[in-house]
Structure formats: structure tokens, C-alpha cells
Amino acid sequence: MDKLTKIVVIVGGGNAGWLTAGRLAAKHNSNSEQGLKVILVESANVPAIGVGEGTWPTMRSTLKALNISETDFIRECDASFKQGAKFAKWHDGSEDDYYYHPLVLPQGFGKTDLAGHWLAQQALAKNQSSEQSPLPANSQAHSHSFSNQVCFQEAICEQGLAPKTIRHAEFADVANYAYHLDSAKFTRFLQKHCQENLGVTHIIDDVIGVNSIGDTNSEGARAGDIASVTTKAHGDITGDLFVDCTGFSSLLLGEHYQVPFKKCDDVLFIDTALAVQVPYENDDDAIASHTISTGQKAGWIWDIGLQSRRGVGYVYSSKHSTEAEAKQILAEYVGVKNGAQLDSLKVRKIPINSGYRETAWQNNCVAIGLSAGFLEPLEASALVMIELGAQMISEQLPQSRAVMDIVAKRFNETALYRWQKIVDFLKLHYILSEREEPFWADNRDPSSIPESLQELMTLWQYRAPADYDFTSNNEVFPAASYQYVLYGMGFNSDYSHNPFALDDTDMASSQFEQNKKLTAKALSLLPSNRELLSKIKEFGLSRI
């Protein structure tokens, strides 16, 4: 007889555990007798990682799928709106060196190759200016930057504005947005919601053993499947599917199944984080509506504005910096005098082992979250991987053991593809830098650049990234994201060899014009990020 999937046991109660529990319980009616039973076991002795404050716009669909009110989420998770990332000092490290990776697609994306037209304008302007008075290096005005010319969101962010107004309903927008959130508050919020509203069973206990099924048994389980996990106080907890959300310890997939870990530290060099929470000086200080990511000697600093504080952290390569040096750099950034004073902000040091498990789903066990892998916080790719993984498990939940291996195979192919693409996209941020410190120079070493990325870079010498370059329906970063990074970092795709590629100049002009109009409209309409958040706290947004 075939073994049906009736009980899912999730080990781990960080954001990966609760997001997965919520997705499964909401989709499979865990509130009802006939629904899927979702049990989440978490240790009171192993704290969740407690960092991870930047999200993707996918979080809006995740919250909706969990039937969470955006107002409640914003009120209880210290959340703010995020409209992309500002990369400062990544190109040459100078004071006015920055570019944006916004969340709105380039104007007319898919209708015309606006990137190509923008590049052609740049080339023309450069030729004209070198004939008249040569421009000094790095003098390109930000108003003519790629992201400003093709997208209205950079202007909104530079003014500290929100992506919508109080008159917009929950999850509606003027400009596409994600959130910044307090990771620990988000975990507690999800836990309460999953228990009270979605029917998830919560057990606080330590998992101390994993028990395998011996041979294929009469109920259709497979040899090597997990039968149960042993806990300290609650005995054995049996299930049909086990989800490993145990964070870096990867208790089920890594320790029990010994699934190999693919290290990525030969490509991505970040291996240490120093994280602090910084209070605002005044209660009404502006809240940046984008993540600020500032290049440093041996890595970069993230700066995330929540309602009540900022979350700031220096992620660096310990091969290129001592901890004392890193602390000094972080101290200077947050405006305290030195590393010793920084300690008053309770610095947390977190080691990062960049890489991922080669197989995410083994037998009847699938890993979601840090247990499956982590690269570095750049572009906030971890929570989105959790959301996408949890969504796929809930939508593709194998109804019986007989089909589980087929679903697992697809899940593994998708996860592997996504990891490889994320590695490429993160590496792209580093390889075009002209900074001279060894960290940045080593990042440009061709031996550290994956062949798949080198291939794309060769293609893009002659044209802008396009959807043709990303043909899977499981892409994480669209071609537009590659455009923002490439042209923000000063890359040139030379269209001069193909004069027919850009023959739709009328369409392009109208899209550039449209972007100007949208920019002006957004700037006149939108309140500041703080103002909107205060209003939401006071009045709430209307529910959809």
C-alpha cells in the first residue's frame, strides 16, 4: 500500500521553519481535522540566527498566502518599506560613486531595448564632450545614470519617499516594494499567526536523534527514509515528510544524511559578519527606503532602516582583513570613535560558510533555509530562497511516498539551478569594480569567476542582458537586475557593430519621456517613508 503524506514535521523555528509551516498549513487546511498535520519542533537552547532584515517583493505574496494583514505585519515587526539597494563605493570607492538596483523594471522593458538606447546616448554624449571639453573621469552626473533614466524609483529613494500612500490598500503600490524587518520580531509574529490562525502544532524541545526506517515496509516507505526524530522531553515524533530548518547545523540533511556541501568561497570571499543595531538620534529621523550597501576595504557594509533603529553590519573576507581592522571600519561607519566603543553596541560576530547542499531533498527530508545553504547577504537572496522553496513544497506537496522522489528530483534541479544563478549574480557585483585593495583585485581574478558568468559577460559586450539569457521559469534575478548592476558599474555593451538593433528610436524616446513623467508624478504624490509608516501605525491600511 502507498504511504500518504499526512504529517509534516519541521525541525527548527527560525524564519525558515515558520515560513514553511505557514505556507504548508495555509494551503493544506491544517486547521481542519482532514487537513495536513504540520508539527514544528524547535529547541529552546539554540537561538534562531536573528539577522536577515532585507527581503524581496515576493514577501508580499508570501504574507498574502499566509493571510497576514500588512498593517499587522508593519506594526509588529518594526518593518519599513524597501525599494531596492543603493550600492555606494563599489565602482571606484570615491565619495560620489553610487548606483541603484531598484525593484521597478526599466521603463518599457520587453517592448524596447531601452538599455541599448541609453548606451547609444551615452556613447554620443561622450564623443561630443571629448570633441569640445573632455570630461574628467567619473564626472557622469547621476541624473543621467542608467537607473535614473530608465526607472523612476531611484528618484523616490533619493528623496526618502515611500512606495505608496495611506490611501492605497494593503499590498497595493505606486512603485514595486519589499520590506526591511526585525528578524526576531518577524519570527515571533509568524509563530503566533501559525499557531493561532493556521493550526500549526508547536513543540519546544531539542531534537537529539534521527531514526531511519529499516527496509521498505508494508506501508510503502523507503529504506533510509526518516521514521521519526527523537526529542529530549517529547519522545519520538513521527512524520511522513521532514523539513530540516535547523539553520547552519543542518541536523537532518547535513548531519544525518551527510549530503555534500558545495563550498563557494573560491568565488565569493565573504566569510565573516559583524552586526550591530544602531538607534536613531531623533525619533523623527528619516528612514531610508532602500538598503544601503557601501563597499569597504575587504567587503561591504549593509545599512537597513527599520522604524525604531538601523541594522548595520560589515561582511568581510578574513583573508583580506583582521577583525580589529573590520571593527574599526564598522565603528567609523556608525559614527563611534573606535572598535572598543563599538562593543557598547553589542557587536555580534557571525561566521559565514559560503555554499549550499548539493541535494536539498533526500528521501523524505527536504532542507529549507540556512540548513540548505547561504552565500552572503548581498541582494538579500536567502529569505527569497526560503519563500520559493516553501511555496514549491506546499504547492507540489507529494500526496504519497510513491511520487515523492519525482517531486524531490524537480525540487533539487530547481534549487541547484537557483543557487548557481545567485552565485553568478552576486559575483557580477564584484568583478567590474576598479577598487585597488587586494579584496577587490582578487575578485577580478578570472580564475574566481564562474565560466557561466564569463560566458554571459562575453555576450553582453555586444548587447544588453535580455530575457533570452535567462530561459528557465525558475529564475531568481531577471535580466533587468543584471542591467542595473552592469550599467551602474560602468560596463559598456557596444552596439556600434549592429546598427539595426536600435531602429525603434520613437518607441525608446517615448519610454524615456514616460519615465520622466512618472518620476515627476511620484515625487509630487508620495509621502516620506517615515510619514507613511507612522500613519499606518496610527490608522492602518485598508484591507483588500
Ligand X SMILES: Cc1cc2nc3c(=O)[nH]c(=O)nc-3n(C[C@H](O)[C@H](O)[C@H](O)COP(=O)(O)OP(=O)(O)OC[C@H]3O[C@@H](n4cnc5c(N)ncnc54)[C@H](O)[C@@H]3O)c2cc1C
Binding residues (CB under 6 A) for ligand X: these are: 11-17, 41-43, 46, 48-49, 51-54, 183, 206-207, 245-247, 249, 251, 273, 275, 313, 350, 352, 369-371, 374, 377, 380, 382-383, 386
Residue 68 or 274: which CB sits closer to ligand X? 274
Closest approach of Cβ 348 to ligand X, in Å?
8
Contact in structure between 287 and 305 (CB atoms under 8 Å): yes
Closest approach of Cβ 184 to ligand X, in Å?
9
Count Cα neighbours of 341 within 13 Å in the Cβ-side half-sphere.
12
Contact in structure between 380 and 49 (CB atoms under 8 Å): no
Residue 45 or 218: which CB sits closer to ligand X? 45
Contacts of 346 (CB under 8 A, 6+ apart): 276, 277
Residue 54 or 339: which CB sits closer to ligand X? 54
Closest approach of Cβ 192 to ligand X, in Å?
15
Residue 145 or 187: which CB sits closer to ligand X? 187
Closest approach of Cβ 534 to ligand X, in Å?
24
Residue 15 or 147: which CB sits closer to ligand X? 15
The span from the CA of 54 to the CA of 45, in Å, is 26
Residue 277 or 371: which CB sits closer to ligand X? 371
The span from the CA of 526 to the CA of 159, in Å, is 10
Contact in structure between 376 and 315 (CB atoms under 8 Å): yes
Closest approach of Cβ 514 to ligand X, in Å?
32
Question: C-alpha cell of 501?
Answer: 538593433
The span from the CA of 49 to the CA of 289, in Å, is 24
Residue 104 or 312: which CB sits closer to ligand X? 312
Other residues' Cβ atoms within 10 Å of the Cβ of residue 450: 15
Closest approach of Cβ 136 to ligand X, in Å?
36
Closest approach of Cβ 290 to ligand X, in Å?
13
Closest approach of Cβ 532 to ligand X, in Å?
22
Residue 117 or 256: which CB sits closer to ligand X? 256
Angle of the 15-27 helix axis to the 381-395 helix axis, nearest 10 = 30
Closest approach of Cβ 93 to ligand X, in Å?
23
The span from the CA of 431 to the CA of 52, in Å, is 25
Chain centre distance of CA 529: 21
Contacts of 42 (CB under 8 A, 6+ apart): 11, 12, 13, 17, 202, 203, 204, 205
Residue-by-residue DSSP string for 350-419: EE---EEES-SEETTEEE-GGGTEE--SGGGHHHHHHHHHHHHHHHS--SBHHHHHHHHHHHHHHHHHHH
Residue 278 or 350: which CB sits closer to ligand X? 350
Provide the pairing of β-strand 272-279 with 291-296: unpaired
Residue 246 or 307: which CB sits closer to ligand X? 246
Residue 246 or 515: which CB sits closer to ligand X? 246
Query: Hey, what's the torsion of the CAs at 150, 164, 174, 163, to 10 degrees?
Result: 30
Closest approach of Cβ 367 to ligand X, in Å?
9
Closest approach of Cβ 401 to ligand X, in Å?
25
The span from the CA of 52 to the CA of 66, in Å, is 20
Instruction: For the chain, report the end-to-end CA distance as a whole number of angstroms.
Output: 45
Sign of CA dihedral 209, 210, 215, 217: positive
- Is residue 17 exposed (0-12), middle (13-18) or buried (19+ Cβ within 10 Å)? buried
